Amino acid sequence: MSVLVGRKAPDFTAAAVMPDGSIKDDFRLSDYAGQYRVLFFWPLDFTFVCPSEIIAHDHRVKTFAEREVQVIGVSIDSQFTHYAWRNTPTDKGGIGEVQFPMVADVNHEIVGAYGIEHPTDAVAMRASFLIDREGIVQHQVVNNLPLGRNVDEMMRLIDALQFFEEHGEVCPAGWRKGQPGMQASAAGVADYLKSHADSL
């Protein structure tokens, strides 16, 4: 496994099912260059924890968009399997018409480039990457197969990144939008802890 934080997110070209249900044969991560992107991986379509995570991302697509973030999902399934799963209702084990691209990594090239292939099961682990407008990975999290992610934590980190970019202040433990940041200096730490140490 590799740590990509602080590095350029690997670009890729692959087939994808788009939000309107069409199949784009040459989808590229760089199609969204200049935007914030959340790139997340799941192990397999038509499985168990995966639909809950995909639907959780889909339910927050508008909230991501308000923050100028494009969500992109990837698994090793084909675009045709993605299409079938997307066209299966949730009460039948499907995911419904999700509103973000679903990329087909059938050759495992994207999983390999991001260093998140499961060591024994040859599928993607539950990995998420926050990519900034310059294409740099600012956050990554990788869960093993049984452990579903908290999509709201990704939203919190987007808020923290955008706060830092706007104000130049760093975000202490548990920081949430609307809370004060911290000057990245010894004096800034002391000032912050004076008021907030007991609540950490």
Residues acting as catalytic residues:
50
199 contact partners, CB below 8 Å, separation of at least 6: none
DSSP 53: H
* Residue labelled with tokens 């399997």: 81
Class of residue 199 by CB neighbours under 10 A (exposed 0-12, middle 13-18, buried 19+): exposed
What single-letter amino acid sits at 37?
R
Q: Is residue 124 a contact partner of residue 39, using CB atoms and an 8 Å limit? A: no
* Residue labelled with tokens 């990594």: 105
Cα–Cα distance measured from residue 171 to residue 76, given in angstroms and rounded to the nearest whole number: 35
Comparing CA positions, the residue from 18, 11, 1 lying closest to residue 137 is 11
What single-letter amino acid sits at 110?
I
**Max intra-chain CA distance, the chain:** 57
Cα–Cα distance measured from residue 56 to residue 40, given in angstroms and rounded to the nearest whole number: 12
